[in-house]
A and B are shown apart, each in its own frame.
Chain A
Amino acid sequence: MYNDTLDYLEKIYEPDLRNLLKRCYQCGRCSGVCQLSKVQKYAPSKIIELILEGFEDRVLESGELWDCLTCNQCLKDCPEDINFADIVRIARYKMRHFANQNPDEIVAHKGIYTTISEIMSRPYITPERSLDWVPKGCKISDKGNVLYYVGCLPFFNYEFENLDSIATSTLKILCQIEKEPIVVFKEENCCGHDIYWGQGKLKTFIKLAMKNMEMFEKAGISKIVTACAECYRTFKVDYPNIFEDFNDKFDVKHVIEYIYEKWKENLIQFHNPNKKSEKIPFTYHDPCRLSRFLPKDNNIMEKVREIFKEFKDLGYDFNEMEHNQKNALCCGVSSWMNCNEKSKALRYKRMLEAKSAGDIMVTSCPKCRIHLSCLQDDFEDIASIEILDFSEFLINHIKLIKPDIKGEEKK
């Protein structure tokens, strides 16, 4: 077991950071576009140069890299495709294990949520999640084809409100469309995203991944649907880095993709039972994990916009914010690191953009929703915006096109 972990670690860890940076020709664009550099002194290009010149230990000792938002804006604008977020991830592992740094004091919410994921990675822990949020009339089982991966939502109830409705509405949508019962695990583990990106605990991440893989295989799942942007990115890109055959075995879908496909297959249509004469303006916040963090051939951003175009006839008016798609601003906190006045400034900026674009802000990452709605308690001028998850927004606007009725008519 222990040797396995080390074998897998080689696949996601690079001892010499310089190998990843050799292509850099110091154009400095990363420091120019860096979202964090707008609110504090922080320059990725300087850090890259220091590492290339052989002062890696100085960078690690300064602890500067704990501040990075890992929003990947620098990768998007980099002419040489240098993945700075990956450098940060590996550097965090090094800072923790070789520079003896512990960021526990700066982790948001005293590190409760990251500690929970760590406890879940232990082999002797089997979570017993409450399934109170499962809507009535929805059939769930332990074994089957389609899995709804809930993520950390039930644990967030500890401090945040109304998050169950994301899970409830996603499962309602799935139940409407699928005929078989949906698989929802009672003993579901964390996907390990926060530990992987924020905490630098790569070995814990591998343990979680192995535990999850085992569980999926045991239940005989072929399709994983999730409503969380972070879980999606982790299953789509980071797990295949460890297990090469992950994407062949399991078909990972975000709820957006899932609905888009069913819509294109003519299984569902959108409608609005309470249509009003006046159009409601709304906007969409792109989570970084669904825009900049995905491979280039993934067009989930265009898909969601295509769905929203359909809403024009349904009494809604879709507006883009000033920064959108791959240039979308960060929600300010990533992987529960660094919730402070600087991140609040970033969030406030985002909320002002949202306010000028519409009354409703739809997003597809539960954490973006948490972070942005948390700010609404502090500032009155942005409190009027309603922040909804994608599935919460769609739940009342989906209608099944019933093939049964057509069949009966033929008879």
Chain B
Amino acid sequence: MPKAKTKVIRKDFTPEILVFCCNWCSYAGADLAGVSRFQYPPNMRIIRVMCSGRVDPAFVIKALKEGADGILITGCHIGDCHYISGNEYAQERFGRLHEIIIKQLGINEKRVRLEWVSASEGKRFADLITEFTNQIKELGPLKVL
């Protein structure tokens, strides 16, 4: 029989955030943020995908099920996609995910977000992560025990 997962709640809540980065822009942007030594909160995990269009809504829902407090999907700016229209596809799919599934499940919409970060925007990437982490911290953990 599998044991029930018990999570110790610390007084200072550190959110668990999942970030999907596209290989060509956002991942390079995250790289640049690191190389340029911009500071940003450490409580997020990056998953590199080839294109933001690769991020299936099923991944997002599964992450929420497994206990992620916030999910950020990043990709190239519209028009800059390495695969020409991958991010437009992501945008369209994300809209439906947001409107039909996340909202109707009663999960705060701010927890799931789609942003565009290009390879040269290291500073913006760091700022974005900081801002998003603060927002999730305000919202508190998704899993209220």
Contact = CB atoms under 8 A, between A and B. Distances in A.
Whether chains A and B associate is yes
A61 interface: no
Interface stretch (A26-34, A124-132, A289-297, A400-408): A124-132
Contacts, number: 56
A25 interface: no
A119 B58 contact: no
B58 A130 contact: no
Contact of A119 (B2, B65, B144): B65
B7 to A, nearest CB: 12
Interface residues of A, number: 24
Interface stretch (A42-50, A152-160, A173-181, A217-225): A152-160
A130 B103 contact: yes
A119 B142 CA distance: 11
B11 interface: no
A194 to B, nearest CB: 14
Contacts of B107: 125
Nearest to B107: A125
B143 to A, nearest CB: 6
A154 B105 contact: no
Given A120-B105, A127-B106, A158 B100 contact: yes
Interface residues of B, number: 23
Nearest to A111: B58
B113 interface: no
Nearest to A154: B104
A125 B61 contact: no
A377 B30 CA distance: 42
Interface in B1-23: 1-2, 4
A232 B85 CA distance: 44
A262 interface: no
B4 A2 contact: yes
B42 to A, nearest CB: 26
B113 to A, nearest CB: 18
A112 B104 contact: no
Interface of A: 2, 97, 109-112, 115-116, 118-120, 122, 124-130, 154-155, 157-158, 187
